[in-house]
Amino acid sequence: MIHKEALIDRFISYVTIDTQSDASSDSTPSTAKQWDLANKLEYELKALGMQDVSIDDHGYIMATLPATVTDRTIPTIGFIAHYDTTPDFTGTDVKPQLIEKYNGKDIILNKEKNIRLSPEEFESLLNYKGQTLITTDGTTLLGADDKAGVTEIMEAMKYFLEHPEIKHGEIKVGFTPDEEIGRGAHKFDVKKFGAQWAYTMDGSQIGELEYENFNAAGAVVTITGKSVHPGYAKGKLINSIFIAQDFINSLPPLERPEHTEGREGFFHLNGIEGDIEETKLELIIRDHDREHFEARKNFLQSLADDLNEQYERDCVSIMIKDQYFNMREKIEPVMHIVEIAKKSMEDVGITPIIKPIRGGTDGSQLSFMGLPCPNIFAGGHNFHGRVEYVPVESMLKAVEVIVKIAENTVLAKAK
């Protein structure tokens, strides 16, 4: 039996440590405060009795749970979570609130500021009526993304160590910094980790099982103009802002994030800065289909070429950089690892929700680095903001899934 109170205490001890990452920093971890939790996790892994516990100069933590079966052909598997939180919303001075036996009504997060979490806005709340929810006081994010995943992995390792009768192969644990700024796997030593495959515990609602994600690229469009005194500008002035407007208006209006869902890709303008002489646009490109992804990149280049032809000068340049790719490409040849996770969820009474991720994950980069890595739910909702919450019962089920995956990996080998 997994102890509910111990899980809650562990989770709260993690979320009250500020670990926001910072995309403007060149260091790894990107913020010094991430070391506060990293060092705590290293200590706790050793205290549990895990083997080969290490933390490198970049804050990557690894540990080994020895096998309880003598068959050395049982695959070594891993579980991975990130301990940083997003810079999108403050994670300083998190004050968790415990909502026992949730009654299905509005939750007052902060009476003074009239901040509430309501099922009228977030219908998913009603799925957890009668359960224990953990929220914030409405002034910070919670950090269940992904400290819920960290907690679940730690509690599962504790459970294994307390129950040596459970049959499992060697299990690797990995905790990473800077996932929220897209760098979580950049310096991950796959060879040192030593697993044949792994699972990131970084999904949302209970039951999520994901092995597809976007192909992703970033684009910077630079438009150059010519500034001339407006009183004498006829035939001379070239306003880069208006050329930028032409570029933006040429993007398909229905292929923006606010108009897409499922496997539909998009162009997203997420930054603009400029004046007459120079304007810069920052865009991201997303598509699950690799061919469509390449076509989107080519389309942006063609817009730049067309504007240069229209203005009869090289006024528009574009730099496109790939960020990550759809891990389905690397998972499909080893689909048994998804089937093990699916069966494990069903074995503990969970209906798997298999769907594509409309975003990225460390698992994507790790899969292309040679470590196939589907993503499993961690239980939280409304990530990256003040109304984030996590049902404790979902976290407990995630721990059960980890344990069952290890058991089913042994059974799958036996077959």
For residue 354, the cross-strand partners are 209
Tens-place pLDDT, residues 252-283: 999 999 999 999 999 999 999 999 999 999 99
- DSSP 8-state code for residue 75: P
Query: In the structure, what pLDDT confidence band is assigned to residue 413 with cuts at 50, 70 and 90?
Result: confident
Question: Which of the following CATH numbers is that of domain 4-212+326-414: 2.60.40.10, 3.40.630.10, 1.10.287.3510, 3.40.1110.10?
Answer: 3.40.630.10
**Could you tell me which of 321, 373, 57, 376 has the C-alpha nearest to residue 198?**
373
Tens-place pLDDT, residues 115-151: 999 999 999 999 999 999 999 999 999 999 999 999 9
Catalytic machinery residues: 84, 179
Task: Determine how β-strand 375-377 pairs with β-strand 215-224.
Answer: unpaired
| Cα 211 from Cα 146, distance rounded (Å) | 18
Tens-place pLDDT, residues 378-395: 999 999 999 999 999 999
Question: Which of the following CATH numbers is that of domain 215-324: 3.40.190.100, 3.40.50.2300, 3.30.70.360, 3.40.50.2000?
Answer: 3.30.70.360
Query: In the structure, what pLDDT confidence band is assigned to residue 414 with cuts at 50, 70 and 90?
Result: low
pLDDT (mean) for 185-196: 97
| Cα 102 from Cα 117, distance rounded (Å) | 12
Q: Is the pLDDT confidence value at 415 over 70? A: no
- Which residues make up the CATH 3.30.70.360 domain(s) of the chain? 215-324
**Could you tell me which of 386, 413, 406 has the C-alpha nearest to residue 156?**
406
Query: In the structure, what pLDDT confidence band is assigned to residue 4 with cuts at 50, 70 and 90?
Result: very high
Task: Determine how β-strand 107-110 pairs with β-strand 51-55.
Answer: unpaired
CA distances from 148 to 93, 283, 325, 350, 388 (A): 18, 31, 25, 18, 12
| Cα 51 from Cα 231, distance rounded (Å) | 75
Three-class SS state of 212: coil
User: How is residue 401 written in tokens?
Assistant: 């899934």
**Could you tell me which of 103, 118, 75, 151 has the C-alpha nearest to residue 340?**
75
Residues 6+ apart with CB under 8 A from 363: 80, 198, 199, 200, 202, 213, 327, 373, 374, 375
